[in-house]
């Protein structure tokens, strides 16, 4: 099952896509999708709910708000190598501001003081049950589902200004999420998902979650050793090689550029870079 939200920003309505691919508005069953209203639906729940034609409709983030947004850096060997950094022995952890979340096709803002605006396609994990000090063997039981994330980054703020990486990660619309939140039962193996990204129609990233240094279950278990993960937390699991900062010479986004990305079974995003 796939959960989604659609409509104008700030007025989105919750919806569900069933096993046959039919989309239903479920606002009569749940006011909105948020950390405290995450739930699945039986086919019987959808009987009588209005169907939705999503063609040409704006998609919002699958949740109205997320709790903590956890991020794992350098989680693919080829990305660490292109960044010129050592292969991590433990997950590299940072965060993004919840205010950076936007719909999957909303524009990426470009301010005049941005000089190294970059892209990162990532598998997102959404926590469904509290997780504290859980074993890796039990970690997936705490996952509600998965989604597509573009970890948009301003590299100059992230790397050239000193301090924490999150400075380059938290600007509004730097975390497009969606189009759907795919429930865990539809993803039998989160370590067998192809993911890709294009800029202006040119393929830049082409990877597979099988190449993660730290797989999904280990990430969830690892984070739970230091914090209590809560329903609605989003974990961004890292990106494969092909980010703009990894090219020689480096290539960064500018106004007018188009970014398209997706993960097998998770849907696609497309953003346009617009002057802010």
Reply yes or no on whether the pLDDT at 73 is more than 90: yes
What confidence score (pLDDT) does residue 197 get? Answer: 98
| Domain of residue 180, residue span | 61-275
By CB atoms closer than 10 A (0-12, 13-18, 19+), residue 194 is middle
What confidence score (pLDDT) does residue 254 get? Answer: 98
Reply yes or no on whether the pLDDT at 71 is more than 90: yes
- Mean pLDDT, rounded, for 67-87: 90
Q: Please list the residues that pair with 14 across neighbouring strands.
A: 5
Is residue 138 in some structural domain?
Answer: yes
For the ranges 28-32, 133-137, 164-168, 271-275, which has the lowest average pLDDT? 164-168
Q: Please list the residues that pair with 143 across neighbouring strands.
A: 127
What confidence score (pLDDT) does residue 85 get? Answer: 80
Reply yes or no on whether the pLDDT at 58 is more than 80: yes
CA distance 29 to 262: 29
CA distance 4 to 17: 8
What confidence score (pLDDT) does residue 126 get? Answer: 98
What confidence score (pLDDT) does residue 86 get? Answer: 86
Q: What distances in angstroms separate CA 127 from CA 35, 224, 226, 235, one per listed residue?
A: 9, 11, 15, 8
- Mean pLDDT, rounded, for 208-219: 97
Residue 128 sits in a domain of what CATH number?
3.90.850.10
List alpha helices for the chain, DSSP H: 43-46, 77-82, 155-159, 216-224
What confidence score (pLDDT) does residue 20 get? Answer: 94
* Phi-psi sector, 254: left (phi>0), alpha (psi -120 to 50), beta: beta
Task: Tell me if 233 sits within 8 A of 177, measured CB to CB.
Answer: no
Dihedral (Cα; 49, 270, 108, 238), 10-degree rounding: 100
Note the maximum CA span of the chain: 56
What confidence score (pLDDT) does residue 79 get? Answer: 87
CA atoms within 13 A on the CB side of 31: 5
Is residue 41 in some structural domain?
Answer: no
Residue 14 is encoded by which pair of tokens?
């919750």
Is residue 9 in some structural domain?
Answer: no
What confidence score (pLDDT) does residue 172 get? Answer: 98
What DSSP element (H or E) covers 244? none
Q: What is the pLDDT of residues 250-272, one digit of tens each?
A: 999 999 999 999 999 999 999 99
Question: How many domains does the chain fold into?
Answer: 1
Reply yes or no on whether the pLDDT at 8 is more than 90: yes
CA distance 229 to 70: 10
- Mean pLDDT, rounded, for 203-224: 98
Reply yes or no on whether the pLDDT at 179 is more than 80: yes
DSSP track, 142-210: GEEEEEEEE--EEHHHHHSS-S-GGGGT-STTSEEB-S-EEEGGG-S-TTS-EEEEEETTEEEEEEEGG
Report DSSP state, residue 99.
G
- Mean pLDDT, rounded, for 102-127: 98
Is residue 21 in some structural domain?
Answer: no
Reply yes or no on whether the pLDDT at 12 is more than 80: yes
* 164 confidence band (pLDDT: 50, 70, 90): confident
Reply yes or no on whether the pLDDT at 10 is more than 80: yes
What confidence score (pLDDT) does residue 208 get? Answer: 97
What confidence score (pLDDT) does residue 156 get? Answer: 96
**What is residue 35's three-state secondary structure?**
coil
Which residue has tokens 């010479």? 249
CA distance 3 to 25: 10
Is residue 34 in some structural domain?
Answer: no
Which residue has tokens 């939140």? 181
Is residue 51 in some structural domain?
Answer: no
Is residue 184 in some structural domain?
Answer: yes
Is residue 79 in some structural domain?
Answer: yes
């Amino acid at each position: 099952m796939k959960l989604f939200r659609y409509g104008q920003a700030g007025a989105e309505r919750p919806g569900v896509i069933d096993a046959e691919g039919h989309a239903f508005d479920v606002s009569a069953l749940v006011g909105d999708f948020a950390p405290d209203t995450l739930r699945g639906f039986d086919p019987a729940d959808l009987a009588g709910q209005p169907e939705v034609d999503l063609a040409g409709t704006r998609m919002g983030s699958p949740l109205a708000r997320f709790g903590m947004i956890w991020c794992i850096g350098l989680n693919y060997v080829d990305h660490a190598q292109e960044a010129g950094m050592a292969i991590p022995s433990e997950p590299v952890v940072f965060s993004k501001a919840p205010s950076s979340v936007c719909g999957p096709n909303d524009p990426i803002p470009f301010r005049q003081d941005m000089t190294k605006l970059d892209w990162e396609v990532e598998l997102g994990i959404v926590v469904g049950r509290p997780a504290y000090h859980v074993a890796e063997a039990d970690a997936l039981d705490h996952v509600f589902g998965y989604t597509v994330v573009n970890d948009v980054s301003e590299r100059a703020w992230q790397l050239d200004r000193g301090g924490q990486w999150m400075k380059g990660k938290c600007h509004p619309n730097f975390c497009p999420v969606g189009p759907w939140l795919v429930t865990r039962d539809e993803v039998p193996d989160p370590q067998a998902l192809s993911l890709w990204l294009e800029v202006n129609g040119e393929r830049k990233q082409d990877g597979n979650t099988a190449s993660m240094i730290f797989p999904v279950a280990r990430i969830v278990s690892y984070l739970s050793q230091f914090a209590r993960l809560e329903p609605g937390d989003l974990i961004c699991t890292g990106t494969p090689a092909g980010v703009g900062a990894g090219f020689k010479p480096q290539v960064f986004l500018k106004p007018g550029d188009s970014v398209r990305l997706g993960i097998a079974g998770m849907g696609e995003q497309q953003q346009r870079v617009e002057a802010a």
